[in-house]
Structure 1
Amino acid sequence: MTAAAKRIILSAEALLKAFGGNVAVQNVSMAFAEGRLHSILGPNGAGKTTLFNLLTKDLTPDTGTVRLEGADVTGLKPHQIARRGLSRSYQISSVYLDMTARENVWVASYRALAGGALVFWRRADRDAAVRDHADTYLRRLGLMSFADVPTKELSYGDQRLLEIAVTLASEPRIILLDEPTAGLSRQETEKVKRVIAALKGEFTIVMIEHNMGVVMEISDEISVMNRGAVIAHGSPAEIQGNKTVQEAYFGG
């Protein structure tokens, strides 16, 4: 099914963000279809992470609109966006290193089951529903054998998988992944790639990723940014054959 035939669940409309005289995102419009994996490519400094920050409201656009399921959410706070079903991972792993893997997922599970509240979350280990909820995602990501291991003792690849488990435990509809395979070995990259591919269809996924093999293999759609603007959009095959992309991103 084409993106046009799918329901648009998240969109950016003419977003602009400047820092002083530097325009980081320049009138960017994108539409993300339900159940699709939409990757965003571009060289360093292209504006990809700034765009993510605008979508999650970690930054406020100077002009433009963010819509979630058709509603204008441009004025909402990050936690309000999260409660509406948008969750993200970061370029640098943001899990709590001194907690166990299970405790990390408990936090997101308790938030999900308590309707966003995090009061007295440490009681979650006595709450069977929260424990079962957390273990569901640890098991799904292949991390159950590390459930009670301090996160700082996990490999970096397993820390990235744990971050995805935390993201899923918040029960989002839309997942934003910021360079999920950055810094990983080939074996770890393959593992993370398989996990992300398995989530397609169940979730809407927007992914920034520099590993071209990963992007071309698992993406449904790709948008390419350069110098803050979108220079191309299409299927993996269309992007591979795009001369503008080759010149701007692949070096001609």
Structure 2
Amino acid sequence: MTDALLNVENLSKSYQGVKAVQGVSLNVAPGELLAMIGPNGAGKSSCFNMLNGQIRPDSGRIRICGKDTTGFSPERISRLGVGRTFQVAETFLSMTVRENVQLAIQSATLSALLPLAFFGNLGRNFQIKADELLDLIGLKEQAERSCRELPYGDIKRLELAIALAGDPKLLLMDEPAAGMATKERMLLMQLTSRIAKQRQLAVLFTEHDMDIVFEHADRIIVLNRGQLIAEGSPAQVRANENVQAIYLGSGILYKQEH
């Protein structure tokens, strides 16, 4: 896909002879939500962490926004326009909601290289942009609130704002709905989808909740034992015999039938 923001070709990784990822290729276009699914041990985490620069692939190529990023560090990849969220959301609990976003904006603009005294001015620095991001995710009225007072669903939304602080073109989300109640999960993914379409942001996410996957993904790729075994629309993946065989008896492929 020539206009893809993320292009991955024949990515492979082994650990002491065990092939965790074998020749995986994928792409994500602007405004698209691509879900990566598979049973435990399928290679999702290894694949995801290679894209983010946390581990180096044995072979294959990763291109982000047209640039070969294979083997780049997470920091270097982030500065190319890549945002990241994690299974367990992390914020500075002693800071306010707004201060967390301001700090993320500061870091994204390389202001983190300034003297530590600069941190004392967070009340003024980047406040307008921070409030715009908080308004985008529906937390502007909570801007002065301490993060330690927020319910977990709001923390996950705040993490999304932090990931957007550097105006990324690509967003990598590792199990974004983990730890959230069902309604909160759906609302978070609805919000993510809306932002992706509005900003033409490419989103790749892993997820165990198949309701989330089949409801919100534009396309799905399925890994099993390190190999890509299926890809396509939610309807195509649901009907794929290989996928059905993997999830045989679980019922998870049919929970969202309409």
TM-score where L is the length of structure 2: 0.89
Aligned to 1:226: 224
Within a 5 Å distance, the mapping from 1:84-123 to structure 2 comes to 84-112=80-108, 114-115=109-110, 117-119=112-114, 120=116, 121-123=118-120
Contact 2:4 2:65 in 1 (8 A): yes
Aligned to 2:256: none
Corresponding residue to 2:23 among 17, 24, 27: 27
Give the AA of the match of 2:228: V
CA distance in 2, matches of 1:191, 1:74: 34
Contact 2:175 2:206 in 1 (8 A): yes
Give the AA of the match of 2:52: T
RMSD of aligned alpha carbons: 1.8
Note the C-alpha offset of 1:102: 1.2
CA distance in 2, matches of 1:175, 1:247: 31
Give the AA of the match of 1:224: V
Q: How has the CA–CA distance of structure 1 residues 126 and 147 changed in structure 2, closer, same or farther, with 3 Å as cutoff?
A: closer
Aligned to 2:53: 57
Give the AA of the match of 2:69: V
Aligned to 1:125: 122
Note the C-alpha offset of 1:105: 0.6
Q: Decide which moves more: 61-70 or 230-239.
A: 61-70
Note the C-alpha offset of 1:111: 2.5
Q: How has the CA–CA distance of structure 1 residues 250 and 89 changed in structure 2, closer, same or farther, with 3 Å as cutoff?
A: farther
Give the AA of the match of 1:150: S
Unaligned residue ranges in structure 1 (runs of 5+): none
Identical columns (%): 38
CA distance in 1, matches of 2:158, 2:102: 12
Within a 5 Å distance, the mapping from 1:212-251 to structure 2 comes to 212-251=210-249
Aligned to 2:166: 170
Counting matched residue pairs gives 246
Contact 1:107 1:118 in 2 (8 A): no
Contact 1:14 1:65 in 2 (8 A): yes
Note the C-alpha offset of 1:21: 3.0
Contact 1:83 1:116 in 2 (8 A): no
TM-score where L is the length of structure 1: 0.91
Note the C-alpha offset of 1:115: 4.1
Note the C-alpha offset of 1:99: 2.2
CA distance in 1, matches of 2:128, 2:50: 34
CA distance in 2, matches of 1:136, 1:84: 22
Q: Secondary structure at the match of 2:183?
A: helix
Contact 1:221 1:236 in 2 (8 A): yes
CA distance in 1, matches of 2:229, 2:249: 14
Contact 2:103 2:122 in 1 (8 A): no
Note the C-alpha offset of 1:196: 1.2
Q: Decide which moves more: 18-27 or 183-192.
A: 18-27
CA distance in 2, matches of 1:46, 1:73: 23
Note the C-alpha offset of 1:177: 0.8
Aligned to 2:72: 76
Unaligned residue ranges in structure 2 (runs of 5+): 251-258
CA distance in 2, matches of 1:22, 1:107: 40
CA distance in 2, matches of 1:38, 1:116: 32
CA distance in 2, matches of 1:220, 1:250: 23
Contact 1:17 1:24 in 2 (8 A): yes
Q: How has the CA–CA distance of structure 1 residues 124 and 70 changed in structure 2, closer, same or farther, with 3 Å as cutoff?
A: same
Q: Secondary structure at the match of 2:5?
A: strand
Note the C-alpha offset of 1:116: 5.9
